[in-house]
Amino acid sequence: MSGKANVKVTIHAEYLKELDEAAQRALVQTAEAVHTEVVQAQVMPFKEGHLQNDATFVDSSEAGSGHVDLVSSTPYARRLYYHPEYRFDKTENPNAGAGWFDDWAEGGANQNFAGETFAALFKREAGL
């Protein structure tokens, strides 16, 4: 079958910009949702709540380039995260232990959470 087709493509930059902004908002909201999930799963070490409630936050300074970080900023966070041999107090958080983000990372029990959450939030933010 041979034939010619005439196709005209119009790119609306303003719509692409709106979609990009919606994706940035959804990305930040997704990171915040992961933080909420981690807190609700009660997997972070908890003595006074500083690490979980104040020192863990979403760094969205690079959201414009499609990158956000969920940061635990205390000096002891790294030590606790990478040392499962520590005896974690489970009084406040019964599931507390090392590697508290691992269940939400690739290979973890909740590995699909971020992708599915982003997809739903992007649809909402983009009005789709």
Task: Work out the mean pLDDT of the chain and round it to a whole number.
Answer: 95
DSSP 66-106: T--EEEE-STTHHHHHT-TTS----SS-TT--S-TTGGGST
DSSP helix/strand/coil, 45: coil
One-letter amino acid of 1: M
What confidence tens digit (pLDDT) does each residue in 45-59 have?
Answer: 998 889 999 999 999
pTM, two decimals, is: 0.88
Please give the structure tokens belonging to residue 2: 């041979």
What confidence tens digit (pLDDT) does each residue in 11-43 have?
Answer: 989 999 999 999 999 999 999 999 999 999 999
What pLDDT is attached to residue 98?
97
Q: Which residues contact 29 (CB under 8 A, 6 or more apart)?
A: 117, 121, 125
- CA 7, 8, 12, 15 dihedral sign is negative
